[in-house]
């Protein structure tokens, strides 16, 4: 039976298209200005010839590269710690009963639900009372607190979807708790780790408010860009943004392929 499209269908499609344009048009503009620079020719605004100069200058801008390196380091460490902690919390929640696990879950999710300015200010006061110098370690702690709830929910949802018979069969066949975890549960959680890790890294990479309270003299990329807003952006920023978007798109495609292969393997 052939389905007829009505006015509402066309309106919904146009709305979706407009939303996609609004979302992705700025990314396209950034890419354009990373290769073509705005110039005035005879009083009219135009674009220069295609050039890789922005990317070349980016490799020579040590301040941006240092900030980018710090951001990657913080994101990597925070993501690894978040995956480990989230897995421990999810296993505890799944295997226990009573009000303690509900309290634990509320405490885990609370920092993610609060405004970042409140989380950052609270951590700043806590570190000051503990007489801890602000820097890389305090930034990592702040980011871990922010991203653990995200990874926790993803890992917990995956654990809940698994059949209890998997672990029961392993234990009945003589495997220990640790063997069951490493050889039965961990392979089943691989996609949850990848999804949670990518999302946690993206949140950490972009985090500004909490980092602003905890950074001290340490610069991450968002803090560096925040400081540059007062002086004006340089063309290298467009090149950097294009590379970041490109890497993010590649990671998304890889994860999508992994998900597709995992779905096909299960069926």
| Contact between residue 116 and residue 210 where contact means Cβ atoms under 8 Å apart | yes
pLDDT digits (tens, 9 = 90+) for 169-218: 877 777 777 788 888 888 888 888 988 898 899 889 888 889 989 988 88
Cβ proximity of 190 and 87 under 8 Å: no
Residue 194, in any domain of the structure? yes
pLDDT in tens, 138-173: 999 999 999 999 999 999 988 888 877 777 787 777
Same domain, 115 and 164: yes
15/91 same-domain check: no
Indicate whether 75 and 139 sit together in one domain: yes
pLDDT of the residue at 41: 65
| pLDDT tens-digit series, residues 24-67 | 888 888 888 888 777 766 666 666 777 888 888 888 888 888 98
pLDDT at 117 over 80: yes
- How far apart, in whole angstroms, are the C-alpha atoms of residue 28 and residue 44? 22
Between helices 136-161 and 99-113, what is the axis angle to 10°? 130
Residue 39: DSSP 8-state:
E
Q: Is residue 82 included in any domain, yes or no?
A: yes
- Which domain, by its residues, includes 16? 7-47
Are 137 and 202 part of one and the same domain? yes
């Amino acid at each position: 039976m052939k389905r007829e499209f009505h006015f509402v269908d066309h309106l919904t499609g146009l709305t979706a298209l407009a939303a996609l344009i609004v979302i992705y048009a700025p990314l396209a503009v950034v890419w354009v200005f990373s290769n073509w620079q705005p110039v005035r020719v005879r009083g009219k605004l135009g674009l220069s010839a295609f050039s890789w100069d922005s990317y070349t200058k980016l490799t020579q801008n040590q301040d941006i590269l240092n900030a980018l390196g710090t951001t990657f380091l913080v994101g990597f460490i925070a993501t690894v710690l978040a995956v480990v902690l989230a897995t421990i919390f999810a296993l505890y929640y799944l295997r226990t009963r009573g009000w303690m696990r509900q309290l634990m879950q509320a405490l885990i999710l609370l920092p993610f639900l609060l405004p970042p300015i409140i989380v950052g200010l609270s951590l700043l006061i806590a570190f000051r009372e503990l007489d801890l110098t602000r820097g890389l370690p305090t930034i990592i702690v702040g980011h871990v607190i922010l991203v653990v709830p995200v990874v926790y929910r993803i890992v917990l949802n995956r654990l809940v979807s698994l059949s209890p018979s998997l672990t029961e069969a392993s234990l009945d066949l003589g495997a220990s708790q640790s063997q069951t975890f490493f050889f039965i549960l961990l392979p089943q959680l691989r996609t949850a780790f990848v999804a949670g890790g990518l999302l946690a890294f993206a949140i950490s990479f972009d985090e500004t408010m909490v980092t602003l309270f905890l950074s001290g003299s340490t610069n991450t990329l968002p803090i560096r860009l925040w400081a540059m807003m007062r002086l004006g952006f340089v063309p290298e920023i467009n090149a950097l943004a294009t590379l970041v978007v490109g890497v993010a798109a590649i990671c998304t495609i890889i994860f999508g392929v992994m998900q597709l292969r995992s779905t096909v393997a299960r069926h």
